[in-house]
Amino acid sequence: MSGLLEIKHLTKRFGDTVILNDINITVNKGEVVVILGPSGCGKSTLLRCINALEDIQGGEILIDGGMIGKGADMSKVGMVFQSYDLFPHLNVLDNITLAPRKVHKRTRADAEEEARELLKRVGLSGKEKSFPRELSGGQKQRAAIVRALIMHPELLLFDEVTAALDPEMVREVLEVILDLARQERTMMIVTHEMQFAKAIADRVIMIDGGSIVEENPPERFFTEPDTQRARQFLETFTYESVRK
């Protein structure tokens, strides 16, 4: 069977620098894939390639059989960014409904009805008329998730969505993503939250230096990874006690 997302021999270069080298990933419908790796390993670039924000120098990316950059239906992919990137001149409701109204040509009433339902689901009822600058980081990010959801993407990409948040706001955002996993959404998540990764992933892919170094179910990856590199990486998240 073929996956919802198929990445075949993907190569991405900036000038002479190779960012991604011969990446092969298949993501099936309903699957949650977590991408881990040290900073600068190319994991964010990978998501940006899938969302056609970067051109690629080799290989191909297929969404539901359509090739990205050559006629793939990009509305099947939704992305949430680290820096929220809500539109500052629009209130929450307009931020969310602008794309369904203008891109999908839905009526305002129809789009707003769905937006209100989704906002309720992420705990943002009552914030419809607020402007982004009036929201906390966590609230902004939840609104940004709703903005992506209302376009009904089949694949959701999360690019370090909690990296810019204060620690106490991380959880409220991750809860929303866990809820999406319960709804069997197909997702690719780049994160540094190891506990979250362990809880949500069906599969963990570790990237280092632009290549996949390990691909395993989380039970395996977090307890007995196959590679030395993965073990080293996981050790950077634990601390040895200095108490005597």
Partner 1 sequence: MWGIEVIFKGKNFLRLLGGLGTALQISLAAVLISIPLGILLGVLMAGKNPVIKAILRVYLDFIRIMPQLVLLFLVFFGTTKVWGWDLSGEVSSVIVFSMWGSAEMSDLVRGSLAAIPKHQYESAQSLGFTPWQTKIYIIIPQTIRRLIPLSINLITRMIKTTSLVLMIGVVEVLKVAQQIIEANRMTAPDAAFGVYLFVFVLYFAACFIPSLLARHLERKWS
Where do contacts with partner 1 occur on this chain (CB under 8 A)? 51-53, 74-75, 77-79, 81, 83, 85, 87-89, 98-99, 102-104, 144, 147-148, 151
Q: Closer to partner 1 at the Cβ: 173 or 213?
A: 173
Shortest spacing between CB 107 and partner 1, in angstroms:
17
Q: How far does CA 116 lie from the centroid of its chain?
A: 23
d(CA 188, CA 179): 15
d(CA 235, CA 231): 6
Shortest spacing between CB 76 and partner 1, in angstroms:
10
Q: Are 186 and 3 in contact (CB under 8 A)?
A: no
Q: Closer to partner 1 at the Cβ: 51 or 139?
A: 51
- Phi and psi, residue 113, nearest 5°: -60, -45
Shortest spacing between CB 43 and partner 1, in angstroms:
17
Shortest spacing between CB 240 and partner 1, in angstroms:
39
Q: Closer to partner 1 at the Cβ: 96 or 230?
A: 96
Shortest spacing between CB 157 and partner 1, in angstroms:
8
Shortest spacing between CB 130 and partner 1, in angstroms:
15
Q: Closer to partner 1 at the Cβ: 14 or 87?
A: 87
Q: What is the DSSP code (8-state) at residue 82? A: T
Q: Closer to partner 1 at the Cβ: 70 or 244?
A: 70
Q: Closer to partner 1 at the Cβ: 74 or 234?
A: 74
Q: Are 197 and 8 in contact (CB under 8 A)?
A: no
Report the SS3 class of residue 57: coil
> Which of 12, 49, 33 has its CA nearest to residue 187?
33
Burial of 154 (0-12, 13-18, 19+ CB in 10 A): middle
Q: Are 212 and 201 in contact (CB under 8 A)?
A: no
